[in-house]
Amino acid sequence: MPRLQRLRPDHAPALLEFERKNRAYFAASVPDRGDLYFAHFDERHRALLAEQSEGTCIFHLLVGDDGAVEGRVNLVDVADGSAELGYRIAEKAAGRGLATAAVREVCDLAATEYGLTELRAVTTLDNAGSRAVLARTGFVPDGEVELDGRPGLRFVRKVRGAVTTAS
C-alpha cells in the first residue's frame, strides 16, 4: 500500500515519471500541464519546494514500496485557515480506493498538523470519480464553477476537529 509523504527534493525523478506516464490519462479530465511543465520540470520542482517552505502550499505524494509515485494530494493557496485541495492518482492505481484514503489522510493532517479549518475543491461535472471521492471524504457542494470552459462544482469541507470515517 502506498504511503503518503511530504514532497522532498529526492522525489523529483519519480514524480516526473508519474506525470509523464499519466499525462494523457490526466488530460482526459483535467487541463494538460503543457510541454513547458516537462521541459522545465527541475525548475518547477524547486519552485514547489520553495512554496512549501514558505507555507503557502503543502504537497504530498503517494509513494509505493518500490519508490514509484502512485498519486499526489496537494493543498494550495494556504491562507487564513483554509486551502484548496487537489489530487491525481495514476491510471494503473485508479479504482483501488487510494484517492479516498489519501484525501482522508490529508484532511486529518489539515486539522491536526497544519492548523487548517476548511478545505475547498473543484471538479468538472463529468468527473464522476472525483465527485465521488469528495463526497466520501465529507466535502459538500458549494456552488457552480467553470473550469477551462467546462461546467463544474465547487466543494467545501470543515476540517478543524473533524473525524473522518470510512464509508
**What CATH number is attached to the domain comprising 104?**
3.40.630.30
The answer as to whether 139 is a domain residue is yes
pLDDT tens per residue across span 35-70: 999 999 999 999 999 999 999 999 999 999 999 999
The domain tally of the chain equals: 1
Which residue, chain included where needed, has cell 475543491? 121
The answer as to whether 37 is a domain residue is yes
The answer as to whether 166 is a domain residue is no
The answer as to whether 25 is a domain residue is yes
The answer as to whether 147 is a domain residue is yes
pLDDT value at position 92? 93
Whole-angstrom Cα distance, residue 90 to residue 137? 19
pTM of the model: 0.90
What is the percent of the chain where pLDDT is above 70? 96
- Model confidence at 167, pLDDT cuts 50, 70, 90, reads very low
Whether residue 161 has pLDDT greater than 70:
no
The lowest-confidence range among 19-23, 32-36, 59-63, 97-101 is 32-36
Burial degree of 62 (CB within 10 A; 0-12, 13-18, 19+): buried
The answer as to whether 163 is a domain residue is no
The answer as to whether 165 is a domain residue is no
The answer as to whether 167 is a domain residue is no
When pLDDT is averaged across residues 113-140 and rounded to a whole number, the result is 94
Domain of 82 in residue numbering reads as 3-158
When pLDDT is averaged across residues 162-167 and rounded to a whole number, the result is 44
